[in-house]
Amino acid sequence: MNRIPPIPLDIPEKQKESFIQAYTSMLHPTGRLLLIACDHALEHCHPLNFTNIFNLANKEKIPLATHLETIARYANSSATNPFIVKLNGKTNLISTKDDDPQSDVLTTINDLVTFKKNTKINVSGVGYTLYPGSSHEHIMLQQAEQMIFQAHQHGLVTFLWLYPRGKAITDELDPQLIIKMAGMGNALGADCIKLKIPHYQTFDELKTYVHAIAEAAGNSTVLFSGGEMKSIDHFLNEIKTILSAHPTTGLALGRNIIQRPVHEAQEILHAIITILNN
Ligand code: FBP
């Protein structure tokens, strides 16, 4: 089953087919999105074994989201899995106590279109991290909306990582705040909105929040990140809950996959695919 949301009107007629193809190429056969995010070498200053991660994503045909130059260094030119290029980035060396976060553009849409033309790499989408609540949010809001418009001109699928952060934010994982983020991402025109799992007490409570978040996102698709490393059982139970809460929710997983030994990462991915298939 393919699950493609309505095609936004800023996609030119001649790019509609490319957009549908790009979106479809990222969908798991169940119609959900399952992505691996591996931008942590920059975002968390945490070195990664990119060779293993890129091989795993290619073998399992899972879309991989990271920065353009990482893709340029590690993607096999015959790789068949889709890629999502993260257009902005920052490190975690400046803490929120010292300054509100600002993540600036590293790669332009033009650069990535050139890269796409010159290689056979399947760049299907672009991603941008936005920190609502930061005193620098006005810069990121403008960049995010422009990125979405420009990416759509090339038939690319757009992803916003929406993480409330800064001195004005007391609890980044407040469920009501994450519901607001979903609505904001939809208003900004993102095809897919990546959010963190909110605080919760029980899996039933999580299910209620996930449903409300997915509904608040309107016709955009919500993906949840995996968060900090946790036990495999707990991680898989969260995933089951997220997927059962709403028919459109997807996953964009980082640390709980990429910071594990490759055989373990592969087993977890297989367990997630089994959950998806059920
Ligand atoms: P995780 O599944 O590891 O949470 O990865 C998702 C992600 O969005 C990464 O793309 C990003 O580097 C990281 O989370 C940001 O986490 P934080 O905001 O906690 O620094």
pLDDT tens, position by position, 55-88: 999 999 999 999 999 999 999 989 999 999 999 9
Give the integer Cα–Cα distance in Å for 29 and 44.
32
Residue 97: per-residue pLDDT: 92
Is pLDDT at 149 greater than 90 in this prediction? yes
| pLDDT-based confidence at residue 254 (cuts at 50, 70, 90) | very high
CA of 254 to the centre of ligand 1 (A): 6
Q: Which residues contact 230 (CB under 8 A, 6 or more apart)?
A: 238, 256
Mean pLDDT estimate for the chain: 97
Class of residue 234 by CB neighbours under 10 A (exposed 0-12, middle 13-18, buried 19+): exposed
Q: Which residues' Cβ are closer than 6 Å to ligand 1?
A: 37, 39-40, 43-44, 92, 161, 163, 225-227, 253-255
Please tell me the pTM assigned to this model. 0.97
